[in-house]
Amino acid sequence: MSHIVAPSILAADFANIQRDVEMVNESSAQWLHIDIMDGVFVPNISFGMPVLKAMTKHSDKVNDVHLMIVDPDRYISTFKACGADVLTVHYEACTHLHRTIQAIKGEGMKAGVALNPHTPVRLLEDILGDLDLVCLMSVNPGFGGQGFIENTYNKIEALAEMRRQRELAFHIEIDGGVTVENAARLVDAGATVLVAGSTVFKSDTPMDTVDRLLSLEVAG
């Protein structure tokens, strides 16, 4: 499957979010990645529901909403109402993961599960057939601009092999430290969605950077 680029709005200019969402609309990116943080599951707070709803109102892309919050079940229908197309919850935050995934699908959204860097992919073995996406955190969740954790390549390869053996088609999304330098290796390992925050929004030419991530053109 061809890969997807999902610019992460967490790295945008918060004083000009509409402008940056519209830049993503004009770019060749297929998805817009939106991190929701509660200051409990991760040591940071990002966007609440009113801001999310305002962003998705202006977005022409698939709205890929990543919940880094405790007890996400309470808000599943709310996030649907706020414009989420893909809703990803953390394995580490869900006591009854299968029930949570079914609730997301019941609202008509694609369902994803995210794994922190220390969480092995084998823990998803019994639920892979129910998932549309697995998000591998390649940095510790909570803040943008962190360095890429190299063991992520091993996790991608292991998860891609599980996908192949079971003849499944879920996306493998990589979130954190994605650059034009490592994008090709990530896709070669089996990734199909690249979340890029600082790489896109801190670029002097963000739309060109999206093109490079899609073409897997390596800098230099």
Indicate if 60 belongs to the active site: no
Enter the DSSP assignment of 38.
B
Q: Are strands 171-175 and 133-137 parallel, antiparallel or unpaired?
A: parallel
Of 20, 35, 64, 132, which is the active-site residue?
35
Of 20, 38, 132, 175, which is the active-site residue?
175
d(CA 165, CA 160): 9
Enter the DSSP assignment of 147.
P
Indicate if 35 belongs to the active site: yes
Q: Could you give the maximum distance between any two Cα atoms of the chain, in Å?
A: 47
The contacts found for 89-96 with CB under 8 angstroms, 24 or more apart, are 89/113, 89/114, 90/41, 90/114, 90/115, 90/116, 90/141, 91/115, 91/116, 91/119, 91/123, 91/124, 92/41, 92/116, 92/119, 93/41, 93/67, 93/68, 93/69
Cβ contacts of 26 within 8 Å, gap of 6 or more: 207
- The residue behind tokens 């954790």 is 149
Instruction: Show which residues are catalytic.
Output: 35, 175
